[in-house]
């Protein structure tokens, strides 16, 4: 993504001609680039009534050109994207996010044909022609905001007066199999400068880097928790092994007595292993209950996964049970290798 301010349509055509580029788009800001976005504003719907003292909730506003949603991978849920005819003829059209459509009209399709506008009477009504899926704009760990999307070129706009409005500074989005390469950046700059040679191109980013930046604090917290959790797991395994092994070794005299009375080695090993499994099973069950209760505290730090991960729970429980089995089996086997007379003399 390249932040610039040039003739949009010409620059998009030049960028689309760069080898390896499959899609291009333009917007006033990119997803998760809210530090460069204009602040939100109240958005009114023609069929929604508000009391004289009531103001609609603040919505995020973004101006876009055709192709932006396709380029960044935002799916159109209902209706259509903007077209260049919409922009050239300065049609009064709008697109909204799915969560805003559901809030006001229940289902995305019901929003099509409705009219909305920004900040009251100074802005004209615009017909909703499309609904797009929600976009994580403040970080992937934060609920997606409700969006209203306006065309990048309009005949009237509350912040542009009666002489029209055009987005002069924004971000070009490029989808390519050469993303992140110096060659693509050089050719993209040359394409933009071929339209306006004095235009600086700055704040070059990829969506992945924006994603990583938005998750930096959460990722650091999770890494620290993972280190602490890993250490706790290792200490738990060592502790379980040590305690059970000590308990088994203290029963060396009992093993000698049972051996002298004719108990078979396999029978003795089975007895000690079953005892260890019973102790580990009880501990694992109590641990799972406690983990399930505390997992809700972790939910705010997770994205794309749930705090209740059966695979993780099963893997940790299996590790602890294996440690308990080894702690029961190995000391018992060593004790049975001792001469029964010596075992009987053990304290």
Residues 254-266: tens digit of each pLDDT: 777 777 777 777 7
- Give per-residue pLDDT as tens, 160-198: 766 778 887 788 999 998 887 888 888 988 888 888 877
The confidence score (pLDDT) of residue 4 equals: 47
Between residues 304 and 25, which one has the greater pLDDT?
25
Mean pLDDT of 26-43: 76
pLDDT at residue 108 tops 60? yes
pLDDT at residue 244 tops 80? no
Q: Which long-range contacts does 182-189 make (Cβ < 8 Å, 24+ apart)?
A: 184/18, 184/20, 184/21, 185/2, 187/18, 187/19, 188/2, 188/15, 188/18, 189/2
Q: Which of 132, 100, 126, 99 is nearest to 114 (CA)?
A: 126
pLDDT at residue 225 tops 50? yes
Band (48; pLDDT cuts 50, 70, 90): confident
pLDDT at residue 5 tops 50? no
Q: In whole angstroms, what is the distance from residue 222 CA to residue 82 CA?
A: 40
The confidence score (pLDDT) of residue 50 equals: 75
Mean pLDDT of 255-282: 77
pLDDT at residue 94 tops 50? yes
Q: Which of 152, 159, 213 is nearest to 28 (CA)?
A: 152
What CA–CA distances, in Å, run from 318 to 232, 240, 242, 295, 345?
15, 13, 17, 19, 37
Mean pLDDT of 21-34: 86
């Amino acid at each position: 993504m390249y932040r610039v301010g040039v003739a949009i349509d010409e620059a998009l055509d030049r960028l689309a001609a760069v080898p390896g580029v499959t899609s291009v788009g333009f917007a006033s800001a990119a997803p998760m680039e809210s530090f460069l976005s204009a602040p939100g504003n109240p958005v009114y719907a023609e069929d929604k009534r508000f009391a004289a003292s009531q103001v609609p909730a603040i919505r995020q506003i973004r101006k876009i050109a055709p192709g932006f949603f396709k380029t960044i991978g935002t799916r159109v849920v209902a209706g259509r994207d903007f077209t260049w005819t919409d922009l050239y003829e300065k049609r009064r059209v709008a697109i909204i996010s799915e969560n805003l459509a559901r809030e006001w009209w229940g289902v995305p399709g019901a929003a099509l044909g409705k009219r909305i506008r920004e900040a009251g009477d100074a802005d004209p009504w615009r017909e909703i022609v499309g609904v797009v899926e929600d976009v994580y704009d403040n970080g992937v760990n934060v609920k997606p905001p409700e969006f209203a999307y306006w065309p990048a070129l309009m005949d009237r706009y509350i912040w542009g007066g009666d002489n029209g409005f055009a987005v002069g500074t924004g971000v070009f989005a490029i989808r390519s199999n050469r993303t992140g390469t110096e060659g693509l950046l050089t050719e993209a700059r040359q394409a933009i400068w071929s339209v306006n040679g004095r235009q600086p191109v700055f704040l070059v980013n990829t969506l992945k880097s924006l994603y990583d930046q938005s998750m930096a604090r959460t990722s650091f917290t999770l890494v620290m928790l993972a280190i602490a959790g890993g250490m706790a797991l290792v200490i738990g395994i060592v502790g379980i092994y040590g305690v059970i092994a000590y308990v088994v070794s203290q029963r060396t005299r009992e093993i000698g007595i049972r051996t002298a009375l004719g108990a078979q080695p396999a029978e003795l090993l089975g007895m000690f292993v079953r005892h260890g499994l019973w102790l580990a099973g009880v501990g694992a069950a109590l641990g799972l209950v406690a983990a399930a209760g505390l997992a809700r505290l972790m939910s705010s730090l997770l994205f794309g996964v749930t705090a209740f991960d059966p695979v993780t729970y099963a893997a940790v429980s299996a590790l602890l049970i294996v440690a308990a089995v080894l702690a029961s089996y190995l000391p018992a086997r060593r004790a049975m290798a001792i001469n029964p007379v010596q075992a009987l003399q053990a304290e």
